[in-house]
Structure 1
Amino acid sequence: MEYQQAEKRLSGVIESMRFPLIYLVVIAHMVSFETPRVTLSWDSQDIYTFVSEMISHNLAKLSVRCYFLISGYYLFKRFVEWNNDVYAGQLKKKIRTLLIPYLLWNLILIVAIYVKYHLFAYFGLGSPANNAADRAALVENSGYNLLWGMPINFPLWYMRDLICMTLISPFFYLVFKYLRIYGLLLLAVFYFTVHHTDIPGFSSTAVFFFGVGAYFAQHQKNPLLLSEGIKSQLLLLAAVLLLICTLLNGTVYHEYVLRLFVPIGAVALINIFDIINKKEGVRNVLAKLAPTSFFIYVAHEVYIINWLKGGWASLAINTSGWGKLLGYFIVPLLCIGVCIGLYSILKKISPALLGILTGGRMSRFVYKEGGKR
Structure 2
Amino acid sequence: MQVVYKASVPPLVAPARLDPFLSQKLRFWSLVAMLMLVYVHAYNLHSRYLQPATPVDEALSVGTWLQYFLANGLLRFRIPILFAISGYLFAHHDAGTPHGQRVKRRVRTLLVPYLLWSLIGLAGTWALEQHPYTRLLVQNAALSIFGPENPFVSGYSPGELLIRWLLMPVPFQLWFLRSLLVYNLTYPWLRKALDHAPKVYFGIAGLLWLVDFGLPPLFEGSGLLFFALGVWLRRRDKEVLLQPRWFRLLPFAALWVMLLSVKTWLAFHLDQPPVLPMLLLHKAAELLGILVMWFGSNALVRTAMRRRWFQWLTGFAFMIYVVHVPLINYATEAVLLRWPNQQLLTFLLLPLAIMALAVALGATLRRVVPGAYGVLTGGRGL
Tell me if TM exceeds 0.5. yes
Q: CA deviation at 1:346?
A: 1.2
Q: Deviations over 1:44-95 (max 9, x none)?
A: 852222111111122232222211110011111233x7x7x43222211111
SS at match of 1:337: helix
Pairing 1:286–2:310 present:
yes
On the 8 A contact 1:299/1:339 being kept in 2, the answer is yes
Q: Which moved more, 1:273-282 or 1:135-144?
A: 135-144
More helix by share: 1
SS at match of 1:360: coil
Pairing 1:33–2:49 present:
yes
Q: Deviations over 1:125-168 (max 9, x none)?
A: 65398398333674386245213432222010111110111111
Q: Deviations over 1:172-209 (max 9, x none)?
A: 211111123443233223322x0513331301111111
Pairing 1:331–2:350 present:
yes
SS at match of 1:362: coil
2:283 equivalent among 248, 251, 259: 259
Pairing 1:104–2:104 present:
no
Q: Which residue of 1 aligns with 2:180?
A: 162
1:88 equivalent among 76, 100, 105: 100
SS at match of 1:225: coil
> For residues 225 and 181 of structure 1, what CA distance do their matches in structure 2 show?
24
SS at match of 2:379: coil
Q: Which residue of 2 aligns with 1:74?
A: 89
- Structure 2 vs 1, CA of residues 145 and 255 (structure 1 numbering), >3 Å: closer, same or farther? farther
SS at match of 2:325: coil
Question: 2:295 is matched by which residue type in structure 1?
Answer: N
Pairing 1:340–2:359 present:
yes
Question: 1:54 is matched by which residue type in structure 2?
Answer: F
> For residues 89 and 306 of structure 1, what CA distance do their matches in structure 2 show?
38
Q: Which moved more, 1:217-226 or 1:102-111?
A: 217-226
- Structure 2 vs 1, CA of residues 357 and 247 (structure 1 numbering), >3 Å: closer, same or farther? same
> For residues 182 and 27 of structure 2, what CA distance do their matches in structure 1 show?
24
2:136 equivalent among 100, 108, 127: 127
Pairing 1:362–2:381 present:
yes
On the 8 A contact 2:182/2:219 being kept in 1, the answer is yes
On the 8 A contact 1:38/1:246 being kept in 2, the answer is no
Question: 1:20 is matched by which residue type in structure 2?
Answer: V
On the 8 A contact 1:19/1:286 being kept in 2, the answer is no
Q: CA deviation at 1:280?
A: 5.8
> For residues 56 and 38 of structure 1, what CA distance do their matches in structure 2 show?
12
- Structure 2 vs 1, CA of residues 154 and 178 (structure 1 numbering), >3 Å: closer, same or farther? same
CA RMSD of aligned residues (A): 2.9
- Structure 2 vs 1, CA of residues 195 and 349 (structure 1 numbering), >3 Å: closer, same or farther? closer
Pairing 1:187–2:205 present:
yes
- Structure 2 vs 1, CA of residues 105 and 255 (structure 1 numbering), >3 Å: closer, same or farther? same
Query: Which segments of 5 or more consecutive residues in structure 2 lack a partner in the other structure?
Result: 1-14, 141-149, 268-272
SS at match of 1:278: helix
Report percent identity of matched pairs.
Answer: 21
- Structure 2 vs 1, CA of residues 199 and 20 (structure 1 numbering), >3 Å: closer, same or farther? closer
Q: CA deviation at 1:312?
A: 2.2
Matches within 5 A, 1:6-25: 7-25=19-37
SS at match of 1:70: helix
Q: Which residue of 1 aligns with 2:63?
A: 48
> For residues 296 and 349 of structure 1, what CA distance do their matches in structure 2 show?
19
Q: CA deviation at 1:260?
A: 1.9
> For residues 201 and 151 of structure 1, what CA distance do their matches in structure 2 show?
15
On the 8 A contact 1:223/1:267 being kept in 2, the answer is no
The number of residue pairs the alignment matches comes to 345
> For residues 306 and 38 of structure 1, what CA distance do their matches in structure 2 show?
18
> For residues 344 and 330 of structure 1, what CA distance do their matches in structure 2 show?
21
TM-score (norm 2): 0.81
Q: Which residue of 2 aligns with 1:221?
A: 238
Q: Deviations over 1:237-287 (max 9, x none)?
A: 332333233334343121222112212211221123322123267654432
> For residues 109 and 262 of structure 1, what CA distance do their matches in structure 2 show?
30
Q: Which residue of 1 aligns with 2:220?
A: 203
Pairing 1:117–2:129 present:
yes
Question: 2:240 is matched by which residue type in structure 1?
Answer: P
2:80 equivalent among 60, 65, 68: 65
> For residues 35 and 137 of structure 2, what CA distance do their matches in structure 1 show?
32
- Structure 2 vs 1, CA of residues 166 and 125 (structure 1 numbering), >3 Å: closer, same or farther? closer
- Structure 2 vs 1, CA of residues 270 and 19 (structure 1 numbering), >3 Å: closer, same or farther? same
> For residues 352 and 113 of structure 1, what CA distance do their matches in structure 2 show?
25
